[in-house]
Amino acid sequence: MNELEISRRGIKWMMALLVAAISTFTNGAAQSQEATARPTATEIMEKSNRAFYYQGNDMKVDVTMDLLTADRKKQSRVLTMLRRNESLGGNQKYFLYFHEPADVRRITFMVWKYPEKEDDRWIYVPAVDLVRRIAASDARSSFVGSDFTYEDISGRDVGLDTHQLLTEDKVGDRDCYVVESVPKESIGYVKRISWVDKTTFLPLKEEYYDLQKELVRMFSADKIEEVTIGEGDERKTVPTVTRRTMKNIKTGHRTEVTFTSVSYNIGLGDNIFTERYLRRPPKEAMR
Amino acid sequence: MIRPGTIRAWLVIWIAAVATAPVAGGISDEKTDGSFSSKLPIETHGFYEIRGGYRLQNDKYEKDTSILENRLQLDLSSYQDWGDLKFKGDFIGDLVEEEGDFDLREANVFARPADYMDVKVGRQILTWGTGDLIFINDLFPKDWESFFIGRDSEYLKAPSDAAKISLFGDWANLDIAFTPQFDPDRFITGRRISYWNSNLGRTAGQDAIVHTDKPNDWFGDSEVAARIYKNIDNYELALYGYQGYWKSPGGQNAAMTQATFPDLNVYGASLRGAVVKGIGNLEAGYYESVDDRSGKDPLVNNSEMRYLAGYTQEIARDFTVGLQYYVEYMLDFGAYKSNLPSGPARDRDRHVTTLRLTKLLMNQNLRCSLFTYYCPSDEDVYMRPNVNYNVSDNLAVEAGGNIFFGDYPNTFFGQFRDNTNVYLGLRYSF
């Protein structure tokens, strides 16, 4: 090996190092640029889904649903809802205990929700001590006669729609992403436009368009409260939609939902979501 | 229906339990300052209902008015730290029978004494099994009279005076219901519904009320029902056992003057789970007629196998269809036939298909349903149309019918053809 050979090698090495350094630097710059850039529409909707349906490991809430006809005739449903996440963005279990009205009082309702397949649903009718499995293939069915569908209550898998970021907009004083979601399979509506808060990722407004491409339903988050989770250093607050409305534009029928006594991470066991507690609800739900 | 002594005993037990409960008593509406969950010890609910119905044809043996009654149900619950108390009873002004009555539906204590155990003792409604208005392994009492005259379908389930103990484990769960004194069905006696009387060889009713010789001893004439169940990947598998008596008369005494409730053991199994886009269920039971194991005794029901397959699916929004196929297969049919004293022999098999159609309309305030039993082997039909409308959260109106068709006067549903009726009801809940 002569001197020339050595110096050539040295240059090669230096070149290689330089290239590596530059590429590392530019990559890093690209990455950091990406971090401040807009997330994709799908990322927004995934974050929104988690912020809206998956907060905490579990949740307990008292729910009042007021069903109002166009001529302001009112009916009310009052229930306690327990929810437990099996995994973030994945399977969930729901337990509903009805307090009002009389014809559904003390009925319990349990849902095992899977993003990738049909839910399993059970209902228990205490007057006849009957546990029934519910054949529910239509997630777009109305939930207890309200303007909300089952899917609105427990969430729609983000992968079922194609999402496109349309623009940015404000709802009140909140900056929002505006995302159009088109169902991949034909269902009751052709598209949904969501106004997703840029900071909290909660949906502040949604519009549903029917097969005639006319606005048919409109969702609004009317009140958002900070709910505290955990203690000490673990303590954080979770923005939670505590009042929401779904309005059917065509019929004028609307449903106003109020959440009270929201609590997260109360330590609901998996055993709560079984036939045992369906037949005799846990105290958490009945009181 | 029930002896006044029993009612008094239950009332005393219940009141004593509430009075000794560690929280001050007092009846109050559960709704306090906007919060629905009661802070007060007793929740009071119930309903007031009027219901009237009419036979669509003349029945020689029964009144034209199939049902005409006022009913006030009081439903009291108290949730204590150690357990829950429940009292539910109906005060009935019955204008068909021209009498007042009290039907105690529930009076029980529920407790969760251990992580793995639930206990409910007292008068209670018990149900298990997978059938829809068809029961194989559910041997808890039914009220067929209420069912046929057009009371709310919840009255098909009659109460049991029982202790139910439930044990929960990783491997499986176990329910045991012990009824110290046999609770028969509220079966067709001829009082309100005319029926085929095989001894007379004709339809009969109030002229031939069925008299029974019922096993009646506390603890001596008891029933035990058990269920072991497990959820495997959301398929619900259950095994059942029952030791007791035929719940409706299953035989006669030698003089043929009284109907009897011969000994019966039942062993069965069921499976229920998601199938295609709906829910499927399978259930079977072996009815061992202990007093006539050979099948030769014409005065006692033979043993049977019973099978059920069902499927339910929501085929359009708020429109659900349920189908079932049910078979009763008589064992020792040869012995039955050769020992039959007189009269027509029944078929060995009884096949029943059912179809349930339910449609919800007007924000689910209007429910239209039709449940039909069709029995191709007996060539008879029983249809239960019903329309229920919630006028408001408290007020509901209802109209329906019990429609029987049959070519023969002695088949299961055909015998009731003169009882075809329609009814109207109005219920105010509080």
B364: left (phi over 0), alpha (psi -120 to 50) or beta: left
- What per-residue confidence (pLDDT) applies to B4? 45
Cβ within 8 Å, pair A129-B124? yes
Nearest residue to B400 via CA among B380, B414, B419, B386: B386
A47-286: CATH architecture: Clam (2.50)
Q: Which residues of A touch B393 (CB under 8 A)?
A: 75-76, 100-102
| B60-117 pLDDT, tens digit each | 999 999 999 999 999 999 988 889 999 999 999 999 999 999 999 999 999 999 999 9
Q: Per the CB < 8 Å rule, is A75 touching B393?
A: yes
Q: Which residue of B has its CA nearest to A145?
A: B363
Give the start-to-end residue ranges of the domains of chain A. Answer: 47-286
Per-residue pLDDT band at B22 (split at 50, 70, 90)? very low
Tokens of B264: 């019966």
Q: Say if residue B154's pLDDT is above 50.
A: yes
Q: Assess B44–A contact: CB distance below 8 Å, yes or no.
A: no
Which B positions 155-214 lie with beta carbon below 8 A of chain A? 156-157, 166, 168, 173
- Which of A228-242, B122-136, B242-256, B334-348 is predicted with the least confidence, judged by mean pLDDT? B334-348
Structure-token match 């609004």, residue found = A220
Here the ipTM equals 0.89
Q: Do A276 and B118 touch (CB under 8 A)?
A: yes
Is omega for the bond preceding A101 within 30 degrees of 0, making it cis?
A: yes
Q: How confident is the model at residue B20 (pLDDT cuts 50, 70, 90)?
A: very low
Tokens, residue A196: 């997703």
pLDDT single digits (tens) A201-211: 999 999 999 99
pLDDT in tens, B354-378: 999 999 999 999 999 999 999 999 9
Of A76, A259, A281, which Cα lies nearest the Cα of B31?
A76
Mean pLDDT of B392-405: 97
Do B71 and B48 contact (CB within 8 A), yes or no?
yes
In sequence order, the β-bridge partners of residue B389 are B366, B397
Q: What is the DSSP code (8-state) at residue B154?
A: G
Q: A67 contacts in B (CB within 8 Å)?
A: 363
* CB nearest to A78's CB, from B36, B156, B365: B36
- Assign domain B4-429 to its CATH architecture: Beta Barrel (2.40)
Q: Which residues contact A243 (CB under 8 A, 6 or more apart)?
A: A221, A222, A223, A256, A257, A258, A259
Spacing of C-alpha B387 from chain mean position: 21
Distance CA B180, CA B71 (A): 29
Domain ranges of chain B: 4-429
